[in-house]
Structure 1
Amino acid sequence: MTISLAQLRRCSAAIDIGAARTRVYVKNQGLVVDEPTVAAINTRSGALLAVGAQAEVMDGRTPDYIRVVRPVSNGTVVDIDMAQRLLRTLVGDKLRKTWRRRPTMRAAVCLPYGSEPLAQRAAVETLTGLGARRVELVDTLVAAAVGCGLPVEQPEATMIVVCGAGTTQVAVLSLGSIVAAETVPVGGNAIDHAVIQHLRLHHELMLAGQAVRPLQLILSGGDGVTPGSTEVHGRDVISGMARSVHVDTERVRDAITTPLTSILDGIGAVLRRCPPDLVADLGERGIVLAGGSALIPGLEPMIHQATNMPVHTADHPDTCAVMGLGAMIEGKVQPLHLDPMDP
């Protein structure tokens, strides 16, 4: 993938096509798009009915002839045509006209660490279909580290954990490159599934995926007080009627512990592959959490307890990757020049 900052400075747009949300950063304009990666189509006519937040609200509430699709899975574009239609609608006519007047328009896109060539090709074809003449590929880990303000270009260890919807990426960076990295197939969707299964097995209540998010906010204790129980509304498994139950928050925390343990295993695998000097740096600097699922209840204290390292969550974890990529195309990142020495 692209590591040359000189090539990135020639790009006019930075795009992060995630499984949960799509974000577009335009040079000299900032973040212009931050919408869910969801589209609603009419299966009879093939017409695109809604995209982004409007389409996400329709999920689970549509008649048979309307289908809500997600063209990105685990950071990989699985439906190129639908991804192009979604981006074309989100970007807007004005911005597309600006790009059309620039025949040499370049775009930079974030991809998960270790993406297969087929996934890279899908991302390139998606953006070239919008008019990009050249597409630069950047690791999400590097872009997120830059967006968090970490000194990735220095000869010091920085560890970042990017928690996405489908996967969690863990990496240690030094001198602007990835020293060791690991991708864990556990993310926010797995946490949602664990909560849904807990309610189904222990309370005989069926809950929609979107309804889990408020429950997680309550578990996180955002108001400073974590309640002992939470009232949850859903559908009874047996009768099919609407029903409300009071859920013990501690039991829900225990239910999401199992998928969170996989993230700890990935962090341990990365640390074991790092040189001792870099691990010693991490003991002082700590670990930074980024990504849309970085605010999962219990994740930060669990990592701290398992590693005995300071754990910090980025100020804006959900937009770290696209803002870091935007800083690269704006030329705000200065690499550490290492000139070769003559013998």
Structure 2
Amino acid sequence: MTVSLEQLRRCHFAVDLGAARTRVFVKGAGLVVDQPSVAAVNTRTGGLIAVGEFAEQMTGRTPSYIRVVRPVSGGTVVDIEMAQRMLRQLIGDKTRRALRRNLRLRAAACTPHDADPLATRATIETLVGLGARRVELVDTLIAAAVGCGLPVERPEATMIMVCGAAATQVAVLSLGSIVTAVRLPVGGEAVDHAIVQHLRHEHALVLPSQSVRPLQVALRGNGLTPHGPASAEIHGRDVVTGLPRSVRVNTAAVREAIQTPLTSVLDGIGRVLRDCPPDLVADLADRGIMMVGGSALLPGFDQMLRQATGMPVHIAERPELCAAEGLGAMLEGRIEPLLLNPLAA
């Protein structure tokens, strides 16, 4: 981590390419982009029509010649050219001109834990296409831990859980490095999909694409815990007739429907703890788990983890921005490098 910090301080901007949102941090300017990772394309001309929030609003509402695409999936760039075009528009001409004044433009980017070489290469090529001469990669777990203020450089255990849209990453950190970690292909989208399938099978109701965050509606209040509301009204489209229809959904049944993806998260936490040295596990009994990422805000998710693990569970102040803020702190030199010098004989 020492060498990486020295190299990161030379970077001029940082990018957190997430499955749901893209965030760009520019040294000296702060967070300049926080938009959905979505682009709308005219299939007749190949021109880019919209990016970010406006493109996301078009989802499911476009004529046949307009296609809404997501160039990033699961934190991995799946369409390099479209990702570059999307980033250019999100950053804007003024900021891009300012960045280009640096003859040796350097960039930093978050990468998921244990990302394969092809995914890493795609991220590098995306930023090189924006003019970066050199790209430094930082594990999302380290960046998020720094962003939420965890003392990752100390010789003590800190446990972090990055709850993304497409994946959940769990790790134990100590001395500025990852001791043990696991990446699970389960995120907020899997929870949404489980609820959508439940409503389709049990109530013959199809939710519109813009309402596929039904936890905000169906699980208000205490959310995933049994203390939440007994029922909730949801609007959608009837599977048979295609007409709009409203149904009152039993939230207890909804909670049961999402247990499968959430159980996978609990299994991942157990796996990390089993692989962790006993001394570090003892530290975690008091410090608990820090949750970051957009899906950490699922109502009642932290209470469910607290009950299942018996450990304290905390949610970062702005969990969705932790990775980008952590990269920014490294770029601006707000993190002191950990120096492990050999002792003189």
TM-score (normalised: structure 1):
0.97
* 3-state SS of paired residue (1:14): strand
Distance 1:311 1:32, change over 3 A: same
| Aligned residue type for 1:21 | R
CA distance in 2, matches of 1:217, 1:154: 41
CA contact 2:220–2:229 (8 Å) conserved in 1: no
1:135-183 Cα shifts (integer Å, max 9, x gaps):
0000000000001100000001000000101000000000000000000
Q: What's the counterpart of residue 136 of structure 1? A: 136
Q: What's the counterpart of residue 14 of structure 2? A: 14
How far did 1:205 drift? 0.2
Runs of 4+ in 1 over 4 A off after TM superposition: none
How far did 1:208 drift? 2.5
Q: Structure 1 vs Structure 2: percent identity of aligned residues? A: 67
CA distance in 1, matches of 2:215, 2:262: 17
CA distance in 2, matches of 1:338, 1:261: 39
Q: Structure 1: where are the runs of 5+ without partners?
A: none
Distance 1:212 1:226, change over 3 A: farther
Q: What's the counterpart of residue 201 of structure 2? A: 201
CA distance in 2, matches of 1:209, 1:245: 17
How far did 1:300 drift? 1.1
In the alignment, structure 1 residue 104 sits paired with structure 2 residue 93: no
* 3-state SS of paired residue (2:344): coil
CA contact 1:253–1:298 (8 Å) conserved in 2: no
1:246-295 Cα shifts (integer Å, max 9, x gaps):
11122111111111000001111110010000000000111000001111
Q: What's the counterpart of residue 177 of structure 1? A: 177
* 3-state SS of paired residue (1:250): helix
1:292-338 Cα shifts (integer Å, max 9, x gaps):
11112332122212221100011101000000110000100112322
Q: What's the counterpart of residue 30 of structure 1? A: 30
CA distance in 1, matches of 2:252, 2:3: 45
| Aligned residue type for 1:294 | A
How far did 1:209 drift? 3.7
| Aligned residue type for 1:169 | Q
CA distance in 1, matches of 2:112, 2:131: 23
CA contact 2:222–2:299 (8 Å) conserved in 1: no
Matched residue count: 343
* 3-state SS of paired residue (1:11): coil
CA distance in 2, matches of 1:209, 1:20: 14
Q: What's the counterpart of residue 45 of structure 1? A: 45
| Aligned residue type for 1:130 | L
CA contact 1:154–1:175 (8 Å) conserved in 2: yes
How far did 1:218 drift? 5.0
1:185-233 Cα shifts (integer Å, max 9, x gaps):
000110110010010011100113430325435514179x943221111
**CA RMSD, Structure 1 to Structure 2 (Å):** 1.7
1:142-291 matched pairs, under 5 angstroms = 142-216=142-216, 218-221=218-221, 226-291=228-293
Q: Structure 2: where are the runs of 5+ without partners?
A: none
CA distance in 2, matches of 1:231, 1:308: 33
